[in-house]
Amino acid sequence: MNLRIIAAQILCRVLKDGQSLTAALDSHLTTISEAKDRAFVQALCYGVIRDYQSLECALGLLLDKPIRNKDIDIKALILIGLYQLRNMRVKSHAAVSETVSAVGKKTWAKAVINAVLRQYLRDSQAIDLRVDSDILASTSHPRWLLDAIHQDWNEQAKQVIAQNNQPAPMTLRVNLTRTTQAEYCQLLIESGIAAHPVTISATAIQLQQAVSVDALPHFAQGWVSVQDTAAQFAASLLQLQAGQRVLDMCAAPGGKTCAILELQPQLAELIAVDIDESRLQRVRENLNRLDLPGFKNLEGLIAGDASNPQQWWDGQLFDRILLDAPCSALGVIRRHPDIKILRRADDIAVLQQTQKQILEAAWQMLKSGGVLLYATCSILKAENELQITDFLAAHPDSFEIPIEADWGEQRPVGRQILTGEFDMDGFYYARLGKQ
């Protein structure tokens, strides 16, 4: 089996069909039996997507004319070959020959791929210098995204852009109803997995290298979950108490839902809502694995539109609401580099309107004296502090409950984590009280 064929098929799903890299990988990796082969294909795909603008620039310098859209599979193969030559410890002759042999029925492409890759080997220094002199290619970011980052975070922009192009670490959330951060760190070490506790969190453990969840001690028994440190703050910021009624809006895949129940197992009720029924299945799987005492059944999982609660809400007000709002996800580009390719500048205004609608709906369901926590995995002010500033101005019964923490930056409203701080994803939180 030529693994580069599978990698090219996955890349075509992203580049041609606009599918997310995660979904494309999920649909193809199951066809590969060996773990090392799956890891190789995944490394190729993530690498090409992460460095896409850079690789595309290099390809443009190597071709007399662009590859036609109908031959995007050939373009994907060439990008795979270039990535191997530029970034991977693959012998150059193997990278060239294996990439050429991955060509299927389009036999004409063999000569093209061979010529392009061999020319790169001859002229790599000059080509790389020209790529590095192009701002879009050297940063592997589209123009609109570079402009947006510089506009909002001028002083920190260089660091954010660099962090976007780094692989994200694998971080665990310890289930404190089963074990402690220190105890589980020791279990990992005894299992030969290098790890350390994250000092700014009582539940987070960062692994030195990513491993299969099957290798994690007692994972199947619910002792830990995979979740970035920044996302783990949500549960504690809600200021949960026993007997409260809690709503988790836009809940899938359920990481924060589970963290809420781990932190406060004596809630009166937890309702988790997501518009996508298929994604709710992930929430069910997570809850079943964790077997949390505060969640006796799965009736609290509702497929519904968060912006239109009249379709699913029973009219009873909530003490606490977590709104993990739909957003541009620009804070998690490290984990989902296809965002740099698939996201468009005009998506932001649409997302802002959706966020506003869901905020309005959530506010109707919150008790007087209740707390709403607004969260996004974005770094754009338009989706974060400006969104909340507008909301506070429009709702006299709302007020900010400041977040005091040793992480993130205090903004005029809320708190912003920029990508890479303490090795975390980019994240924003604002905590609102209702009079």
Q: What are the counts of helices (DSSP H) followed by strands (DSSP E) for the chain?
A: 17, 13
Query: Per 3-state DSSP, what percentage of the chain is helix, strand, and coil (rounded to 5)?
Result: 50, 15, 35
Nearest partner of 85 among 132, 131, 139, 47, judged by Cα: 47
Catalytic residue among 12, 258, 327, 377: 377
DSSP state of 414: S
Say how far apart CA 282 and CA 286 lie, in whole Å: 6
Angle (CA) 357-363-368 rounded to 5° is 170
CB 280 within 8 A of CB 252: yes
C-alpha–C-alpha distance, residues 244 and 291, integer Å: 20
Overall residue count recorded for the chain in this entry:
435
Strand duo 269-274 + 301-303: pairing:
parallel
DSSP H or E run through 190: helix 181-190
- 45 included as an active-site residue: no
What sections of 16-142 are H helices per DSSP? 21-29, 35-50, 52-62, 72-87, 92-101, 108-132, 135-139
Rounded Cα–Cα distance for residues 113 and 122 (Å)? 14
Element (H, E) at 271: strand 269-274
- Cis peptide before 253, with omega less than 30 degrees from 0? yes
Which active-site residues does the annotation give?
377
